[in-house]
Amino acid sequence: MKHSPKVTGIILAAGASSRMGRTKQLLPFRGQTILECVVDNALASSLHRVVAVLGHESETIEPLLASKDVAVIHNPHYEKGQSSSIKIGLHALTEEVDAVLFILGDQPLVTPEIINLILTAYETSPSPVVLPFFNGKRGNPALFSRETFPRLAALKEDCGARPLFEEYAERILKVPVSDTAIHFDIDTEEDYRKLLLL
């Protein structure tokens, strides 16, 4: 019987929302907060396990997740940027994990269906990096196989995982999706206003 790869979803939600001016993880959306929507979408997918990395205002955010089947870990160095949360998230992985899917904590429109599309693509054609594309443009969430974990753990400064896109350029599995959600995150008040109209 074929082994189905175990993929852990790591939700990156530690940032201080400096461009926004207020904590975007806590902004209301569809009867709950943006982050709760992101977590619920991840939990409704085929991910093996879901982990949320918190930092800024974690004492306010964590209680919102208490009733959900999500592991919460804290990034005390969140001010150093997304790379620090990626590395903290890797420490939460168990040995049987084959890959990780990094999900942004400000993308509440990324549905379980989009997540499952990426997971199915990886299961069908394992690649070190699997990325969703809409109209030829890369989006999120991004999947990285265990092969890449040492490189992720060695990331420097606040560049996210972008250096790996260049390093593994020839081996990236591009997954076409028909939804602009993979490009839509909440960085500004204007973004939030657009979200509320959807």
CATH code at position 130? 3.90.550.10
Checking if the pLDDT of 74 tops 60, the result is: yes
Name the nearest CA neighbour of 109 among 197, 8, 10, 17.
Answer: 197
Residue 178 lies in a domain: yes
Which residue range forms the structural domain that includes residue 98? Answer: 21-196
Give the C-alpha separation, 114 to 189, whole Å. Answer: 25
Please report whether residue 2 resides in a domain.
no
Q: How far is CA 122 from CA 129, 146, 151, 169, 175, in A?
A: 9, 12, 19, 16, 9
Who contacts 197 (Cβ-Cβ below 8 Å, separation ≥6)?
Answer: none
d(CA 12, CA 101): 10
pLDDT at 120: 96
Is 50 exceeded by the pLDDT of residue 1?
Answer: no
- For residue 34, pLDDT over 70 is answered with yes
Q: Give residue 135's region: left, alpha or beta (phi > 0; psi -120 to 50).
A: left
Q: What pLDDT, on the 0 to 100 scale, is given for residue 67?
A: 96
Which phi and psi (to 5°) does residue 138 adopt?
-65, 145
pLDDT digits (tens, 9 = 90+) for 174-186: 999 999 999 999 9
For the chain, the domain total comes to 1
For the segment 126-171, what is each residue's pLDDT rounded down to a tens digit? 899 999 999 999 999 999 999 999 999 998 766 778 888 889 999 9
Residue 140's pLDDT is 97
β-strand 99-104 against 142-145: which pairing, if any?
Answer: antiparallel
Q: Is 13 contained in some domain?
A: no
Of residues 198 and 44, which shows the higher confidence score? 44
Q: Does some domain include residue 141?
A: yes
Q: Are 92 and 106 in contact (CB under 8 A)?
A: no
Total-model pTM: 0.95
Q: Would you call 133 helix, strand, or coil by DSSP?
A: strand
Q: What pLDDT does 163 receive?
A: 83
